[in-house]
Amino acid sequence: MFGPTLDRLAVPKFFYPFAGRLLPWLGWLAAGLLGLGAWWGLAVAPADYQQGDSYRIMFIHVPAAWLSMFTYMVMAGGAFVFLVWRMKLADMLAKCCAPLGASFTLLTLVTGSLWGKPMWGTWWAWDARLTSELVLLFLYLGLIALRGAIDEPQRAGRATALLALVGVVNIPIIHFSVEWWNTLHQPASLTRMDGPAIHPAMLTPLLLMIGGFMVYFVAVLLQRLRCEILEREQQARWLTELDAP
């Protein structure tokens, strides 16, 4: 199954069939993890002593928030590789990440807002986490818009890559600026030095959901990459010789 070596995978010709073989496995794994996590989180996990049942939106909200930032890092990695080594596939990766990241960010904002209404009594607060997540959404939208405005794929890729890297520098600055400016959101409870501050009964389904979101992200990314390859390599010979799937 893992026929081609790693460096050959950077070539669309070898990447395309490889991703195609990997996709069904990832799809089933994502469905399994998400199904198990959702069932565990919604039906098995105990109600919170403070928040009752409404905390259960966490099982969507936290993985989405995680992925909204993780996607940006993947995209920025692709942007960097493309700017330095001019690797076509890295640019396609960065391009495919942007709409995915924007959707995870939007999902985070919407679920957070739905959670915020019963907990904080308001749909929206100008709190640190919320505000920096909103700015992240604007960054994604800016990247998508910039790529859309430039016709030449090569130039569009390089311009977007540069902007993505400028955004990487800015994300921590924005994060800490709004952190010091105003904060209401609960502090991180998973990534702490002394271990997670969540009871295992809730932690297990949460980790399952995060894993499911990750695998789902990779699967959708691969599918998008395949479409992108088809679109950009229309004229390539290997593609015309390929049996249409």
Partner 1 sequence: MIGQVFRRELLLAWRRPGDTLLPLSFFVIVGSLFPLGVGAEPQLLHAIGPGVVWIAAVLATLLGLPRLFAADQQSGALEQLLLSPAPLTLLVAIKVLAQWLTCGLPLALAAPLLALGFGLNFGELGILLAGLLLGTPVLYLLGAISAALTLGLRGGGALLGLLVLPLYVPVLIFGSGAVQAAAQGFGPGANLSLLAAMLALALVFAPWATAAALRISLD
Stretch that binds partner 1, among 61-69, 156-164, 184-192, 221-229 (CB under 8 A): 156-164
Q: Which of residues 179-198 bind partner 1 (CB under 8 A)?
A: 181
DSSP-assigned states of every residue in 181-214: H---SPPPSSS-TT---S-HHHHHHHHHHHHHHH
d(CA 60, CA 62): 6
For residue 24, the minimal CB distance to partner 1 (Å) is: 38
Could you tell me how far CA 72 lies from the centroid of its own chain? Answer: 7
Closest distance to partner 1 from the beta carbon of 194 (Å):
29
Of positions 9, 38, 150, 236, contacts partner 1 by CB under 8 A: 150
Q: Select from 45, 63, 61 the least CA-distant residue to 53.
A: 45
| Share in percent of the chain as helix, strand, coil (round to 5) | 80, 0, 20
Largest CA distance in the chain: 62
- DSSP per residue over 102-122, as a string? HHHHHHHHHHHHHHHHHHHSS
Tell whether residue 76 is a contact of partner 1 (CB under 8 A).
no
Residue 174 C-beta: closest distance to partner 1, Å: 5
**Any contact of residue 126 with partner 1 (CB under 8 A)?**
no
Upper half-sphere CA count for residue 216 (Cβ side, 13 Å): 18
Among 16-24, 171-179, 194-202, 218-226, which window interacts with partner 1 (CB under 8 A)?
171-179
AA letter at 199: H
Q: Give whichever of 81 and 202 is closer to partner 1, judged by the CB atom.
A: 81
C-beta closer to partner 1: residue 136 or 225: 136
Q: Candidates 34, 100, 139, 225: give the one binding partner 1 (CB under 8 A).
A: 139
How far is residue 213's CA from residue 219's CA, in Å, rounded to a whole number? 10
Nearest approach, Cβ of 9 to partner 1 (angstroms)? Answer: 27
Lay out the site mask for partner 1 across 79-118 (x = CB under 8 A, - = otherwise): ----------------------------------------
Query: Can you say how many angstroms the Cα of residue 7 is from the centroid of all Cα atoms in its chain?
Result: 24
Residue 173, interface with partner 1 (CB under 8 A)? yes
Q: How far apart are CA 127 and CA 27, in angstroms?
A: 36
Instruction: Out of 47, 166, 184, 197, name the contact with partner 1 by CB under 8 A.
Output: 166
Tell me: does residue 174 bind partner 1 (CB under 8 A).
Answer: yes
Interface ranges with partner 1 (CB under 8 A):
131, 135, 138-139, 141-142, 145-146, 149-150, 154-155, 158-159, 162-163, 165-167, 169-170, 173-174, 177-178, 181
